[in-house]
Amino acid sequence: MTYRISRGITPEERVAKRLKAIVEDLDLDLEQTGVMLARVLPHLTYTRLVTMIEAAQEEKEFILNPKKRHESWIQNGLW
């Protein structure tokens, strides 16, 4: 569910910005952080993180590949 809150920022945008700030920290060892996530997170939380990353990968590919975007429009009847 996406809805706008004050200042026009959705909860998803707010979380994405927080994650961005965390990951941009060059002192953070991302591989070790991944190991710790796998150890401390419940399975459901881990699965939700994987789902979020897969959605981000698909969206990035969609943005960077105009041909794929056009094919998606055709499949969805938007073109």
30 vs 69: which has the higher pLDDT: 30
CA dist 31 and 45 (Å) reads 18
Within 10 angstroms of residue 56's Cβ, the number of other Cβ atoms is 12
CA dist 38 and 36 (Å) reads 5
User: What is residue 6's predicted lDDT score, i.e. its pLDDT?
Assistant: 57
pLDDT, one tens digit per residue, over 29-44 is: 999 999 999 899 999 9
Mean pLDDT of the region 42-70: 89
Contact 69, 62 (CB under 8 A): yes
- 66 pLDDT above the threshold of 90: no
pTM over 0.75: no
